[in-house]
Amino acid sequence: MNRTNALERHLLTRCYNSDNQIEELLKTRYSLTGDQKPVIHFTQYKGQAKTKSLLHSEPNTSTGIITRERKVNTRKDLQVYIKQTLDNQKKVIKKIQAHNRKKTSDSNPFPLSKFIKLFSIPQYEEFIGLNNLWQNYMQDLLFVNNNNNANNDKSKPLHIPSMTTLLPKLSTADYNGCLLTVIQSKNSNLVGLRGIVVWDSQHSFIICVPSKEDSKEWNETKDDFSPSEMLGGFRAVPKQKSLFAFDVILPKQSTNSNDDEDEEDECVGFTMIGSRFEFRAVDRSGKKFKSHSVDGIL
Amino acid sequence: MLYDLNVPWPVNDYHTKPTDVELYTLKNTIVTLHTLGYDHIAINFQITESVKIPLNQTHLINPIDIASLQKSLSPQFPSIKLFSRLTIVIYDPAKLQGLAKLQAQFDILAIQPLTEKALQLSTTNLDIDLISFNLGAKLPFYLKHKTIGSAVDKGIKFEICYNNLISGSIGYANSPTNPIDNIQFIKKNFIYNVLQLVRSSRSKGLIISSGATLPLQTRNSEDILNLLRTFGLDQSRSKSCVTINPERVLVNGRLRIKSFKQTIVMDNNEISSNSIIDNDKEDPKKKTDSNGYKKRLDSTSSGRLLKKQRKR
């Protein structure tokens, strides 16, 4: 017989370590003179476990198993955390307002940093790292082929791929960590607000906004700020009827010279239409978008 | 902001080039419109379905030379924004193909259906922004509310082109599309047709445009509002005919080029209120090219913020 018994061999490799053992088992199973077993005995594999990739490896502790409850709890905890932070911010803002009302000529400034610590209000600076990660992710996503070309020919200026390749990628990309600016909204108070996306929920973006002079474009030269601008922290911006702007920094072309320190970075701007983004980030990744009547956009 | 989405391009096919005189008149018309308060102006290239479109040579599809027009006008009138529009006159919807290739070349796509079947098709199947009728001639079919209403729900607008009313019988008799039509009935037909359109659309989703071939055929918004009031539109509806509705036509058309299925749009201009419809950064011959959108990080406020934090 010259059958290879591929199927059985494959199954047996899961149970036995050595090839010799498998060979012998198969031989006895189909030998004319041997015992011609009608059954195969699969034992538990005792060999060395394959090392899994980092993404798929799970923590060894018994609590590391992700159960459904744990998932639900995580989501709930996040919701609770965001809600709590927003509530705390309101409290601090009330305190600032009360302080301002009481303010007489000799009063000292409001102890803002103390209250930020007390209520553990997240600050913009904590999320800058996230934004830098996001920029790298975008550069990898959008200009991946260009980098390869750039290695061959560094003197050529960066060629941005056409819109037909860029925009579909962006529409399914992840926006946690993106620096968004609200450029149009039904709520005119939100216009000009900007911050790093902390959580991309179905109907709104939770963004962490910078405080004081960074808070809005037209605040750069101002001296006095409203309580909420002083505080920073989280904001929930509804996606519906808003337009968001964001910039993607182009990857640096020349790495050989040192004098490009003062050379200005270049970027490409994009606008996100909030009304068309009312999906959870998970659903959006595999979504087939369709054009609709534009009446509801703005 | 006022919009006029129909200023005819002097020629109606691909073989002839507009003469200098024609271009001069066109520029004069644009400037007149600008002085009347219109700043978003679309140049309309109207062809019949029998005209062969050079689909394989993408740079030839759009004969309207927006770039040179803009160049000659912008020193004096920087606020004029020019757009290109294509209107296809169709009898038989089956003959119309390759619309997808045209979409990337023109800012606005319009259809002028001459049969009921063509209207039906353009409201249901085609991805267009605008439907116009030849309002000077008697429409060969009855406008049903169901057809028109479904198109309005989809976001397609209907155009009322007032040049039939004011250019007079002479201007119309020269028109190549319908030479034998009874000249004296043009105004009568126009008013009847507009009333039909207003009735069937329930005065929603209408836009009004000039269609002016001469500078004197343009009217200001005040006159237009008066005209529309005589057709039975109320104040706010008639106002939206010159402001909101044409803007939506432009947004719809521009998003087809500048965005992916209306999700992410190229370019963000925080200063200009309408960066969605602007076309000043793109290459008019290759509208999907994105190299024109490169900008300095320091040029915007959020860019400066980004730069500051990356330095740390």
pLDDT of res. B181 = 52
Number of domains, chain A? 2
What does the pLDDT read at residue A254?
52
Average pLDDT, chain A: 75
With respect to residue A89, please indicate whether it lies within any of the assigned structural domains: no
How far CA B225 is from CA of B36, B215, B231, B246, in Å, comes to 14, 20, 10, 15
The order of strands in the sheet holding B157-161 is B2-8, B38-48, B81-90, B108-113, B130-132, B157-161, B206-209
Domain count within chain B: 1
What's the confidence (pLDDT) of residue A258?
45
Q: Which is more confidently placed, A153 or A114?
A: A114
Q: Which among B270, B309, B310 is the nearest to A181, CB-wise?
A: B270
B11's tokens: 């020629």
Interface with chain B: mutation pick from A194, A213, A294, A298, highest number of B CBs within 10 Å? A294
> Is the pLDDT confidence value at B16 over 80?
no
On whether residue A137 sits in a domain, the answer given is: yes
The whole-number pLDDT of residue B70 equals 78
Distance from CA of A274 to the nearest CA of B (A): 8
Please provide residue B132's backbone torsions phi and psi, each rounded to the nearest 5 degrees. Answer: -120, 155
User: How long a stretch of residues is chain B?
Assistant: 312
Q: ipTM beyond 0.85? A: no
Which of A234-243, B92-101, B171-180, B226-235 has the least mean pLDDT? Answer: B171-180
pLDDT band at A28 (very low <50, low <70, confident <90, very high): confident
Q: Do A271 and B296 touch (CB under 8 A)?
A: no
The dihedral over CA atoms of B181, B183, B184, B187, expressed in degrees to the nearest 10, equals 80
List pLDDT tens digits, range B222-256: 888 888 888 888 888 888 888 888 888 888 888 88
Which range among A144-153, A187-196, B53-62, B66-75 shows the weakest confidence by mean pLDDT? Answer: A144-153
Q: How confident is the model at residue B172, as a pLDDT? A: 47
**Percentage of chain A with pLDDT > 70?**
79
**Nearest-neighbour CA in chain A from B206: distance (Å):** 13
Contact between B270 and A250 using a beta-carbon 8 Å cutoff: no
Nearest to A294 among B251, B291, B305 (CB): B251
Asked if the C-beta of A188 comes within 8 angstroms of chain B's C-beta atoms, the answer is no
SS3 A179: strand
The pLDDT score that the predictor gives to residue A58 is: 55
Report the residue from A264, A273, A294 with minimal CB separation from B263: A273
Q: What is the CATH number of the domain that holds B121?
A: 3.20.20.140
Q: Which of B154, B252, B264 sits opposite A167 (nearest CB)?
A: B264
Indicate if A126 and A43 belong to the same structural domain.
no
pLDDT for B9 equals 85
Q: Which of A127-136, B11-20, B261-270 has the lowest mean pLDDT?
A: B261-270
pLDDT at B167: 67
User: What number is the average pLDDT over the span A222-234?
Assistant: 76
Q: Is pLDDT at B15 greater than 60 in this prediction?
A: yes
More confident residue, A186 or B58: A186
Is any Cβ of chain A less than 8 angstroms from the Cβ of B252? yes
Please give the residue range of the domain that contains residue A175.
122-253+263-296
**Residue reference for tokens 């004969």:** B63
Residue B259: inside a domain: no
pLDDT of residue B217: 81
Alpha carbon distance A99, A105 (integer Å) = 12
Q: Is B277 part of any domain?
A: no
Instruction: Tell me whether A217 touches chain B (CB under 8 Å).
Output: yes
Task: Quickly state the pLDDT bin for A107 (edges 50, 70, 90).
Answer: low
Task: Look up the domain containing B166 and give its range.
Answer: 2-251
pTM of the model: 0.72
- HEC string of B97-111 equals CCHHHHHCCCCEEEE
Give the number of other CB atoms < 10 A from CB of residue B225: 16
Q: What is the CATH number of the domain that holds A221?
A: 2.30.30.210
Least CB–CB distance from A291: residue in B262, B293, B306: B262
Q: State the pLDDT at residue B25.
A: 85
Say if B99 falls within a structural domain.
Answer: yes
pLDDT at B285: 63
Query: Which residue from B217, B241, B294, B282 is spatially nearest to B83, judged by alpha carbons?
Result: B282
What value does the mean pLDDT take over residues B125-141?
Answer: 82
Nearest-Cα distance to chain A for B18, in Å, is 32
Q: Tens digit of pLDDT for each residue in B64-77? A: 777 777 788 778 87
Q: Which of B107, B267, B290, B310 to mutate to test the interface with A (most CBs of A within 10 A)?
A: B290
Q: Give the distance from residue B114's alpha carbon to the nearest chain A alpha carbon, in angstroms.
A: 24
Q: Could you tell me if A138 and A275 lie in one domain? A: yes
* Residue A231, in any domain of the structure: yes
pLDDT in tens, A2-27: 567 788 888 887 777 778 888 887 77
- Interface touch B305/A179, C-beta < 8 Å: yes
Largest CA distance in chain B: 77
pLDDT tens-place string over residues A233-282: 888 888 888 888 888 877 766 554 444 444 557 777 788 888 888 888 77
Neighboring chain B residues of A166 at a CB cutoff of 8 Å: 266, 290
B8 within some domain: yes
Task: Check if A126 contacts B (Cβ < 8 Å).
Answer: no
Task: Check CB contact of A281 with chain B, cutoff 8 Å.
Answer: no
> How far is Cα B186 from Cα B164, in angstroms, rounded to an integer?
7
Taking the CA of residue A100 and the nearest CA in chain B, the distance in Å comes to 29
**Range with the poorest average pLDDT among A191-205, B73-87, B283-297:** B283-297
Q: Is residue B282 part of a domain?
A: no
Tokens of B293: 């959108």
Using alpha carbons, list the distances in angstroms from residue B284 to A22, B60, B70, B150: 70, 11, 11, 33
